[in-house]
Amino acid sequence: MTWYVLTIIGTIAFALSGAIVAMEEEYDVFGVVVLAMVTAFGGGLLRNLMIGLPVSDIWNQGALFNVALASALILILLPTRWIHHWLRFANMFDALGLSAFTIQGALYAASMKYPVGMVVVAAVITGIGGGVIRDVLAGRKPIVLRAEVYALWAMVAGAAIGFHVVNPSRSWQLYALLLVVFTLRMLSLAFGWHVPRRRFRAVPVPSGEEDAMPPSVP
């Protein structure tokens, strides 16, 4: 029951993040709804595709669809001031969603007897897939690939379940894991942590020449 509440909170947070990105890109109301749905359900869809569950299973979440749709439609009608207000809490709810979704994704893969690596991948895809599709459809470079410590915590959840550190049949252990992932995500936001980068340029590119590309990477 409590877990379902967390899933609802995460769905709302993910849907709203998609809706806000769409509004920032000046998409119309239809685009806002599409990006909201894609962000909320894209991760589960990709995960099902990758681990061999029917993609159409995501349609069994009827109530969550209505929740995501309603979230997007309400957001469109809210005064700008209120949206700014929401954004002050958005990270917290998004972190709850990340935690709940990645644990859920890892449990799916673990229940199918996949090896640890796959469990981690399933956790990551469930957690970040929706945001990646959202950014691609918004014409943005996926932020999770370049700027945020986000996927790392999904890996932690996946590893904890894949290595049986956490016993899925003990729900208090799942809640403890959720708390760990949530806390790590909030800490990385509070302290502005970043995954390190390694820059590289195959050929010097004159600035503004966006089409230039090393001939060596076909």
Smallest gap from Cβ 172 to a copy of itself, in A, equals 28
* Structural contact between residues 155 and 181, judged by C-beta atoms closer than 8 angstroms: no
Q: Which are the contacts of 139, defined by CB distance < 8 A and separation ≥ 6?
A: 25
Give CA–CA dist 183/213, Å, rounded: 40
* Structural contact between residues 102 and 181, judged by C-beta atoms closer than 8 angstroms: yes
Smallest gap from Cβ 77 to a copy of itself, in A, equals 8
Sign of CA dihedral 58, 61, 66, 70: negative
Smallest gap from Cβ 60 to a copy of itself, in A, equals 11
- Our CB check for a copy of itself shows the closer of 4 and 24 to be 24
Smallest gap from Cβ 190 to a copy of itself, in A, equals 11
* Structural contact between residues 44 and 68, judged by C-beta atoms closer than 8 angstroms: no
- Our CB check for a copy of itself shows the closer of 114 and 182 to be 114
Per-residue tokens: 49: 């595709």
Give CA–CA dist 181/159, Å, rounded: 12
- Our CB check for a copy of itself shows the closer of 1 and 217 to be 217
Smallest gap from Cβ 123 to a copy of itself, in A, equals 13
- Our CB check for a copy of itself shows the closer of 206 and 218 to be 218
- Our CB check for a copy of itself shows the closer of 28 and 176 to be 28
Q: Which are the contacts of 127, defined by CB distance < 8 A and separation ≥ 6?
A: 43, 98, 101, 102, 105, 150, 151, 153, 154, 157
Give CA–CA dist 129/123, Å, rounded: 10
Token pair 């195959």 is found at 202
Other CB atoms within a 10 A radius of the CB of residue 170 amount to: 10
- Our CB check for a copy of itself shows the closer of 55 and 176 to be 55
Smallest gap from Cβ 70 to a copy of itself, in A, equals 13
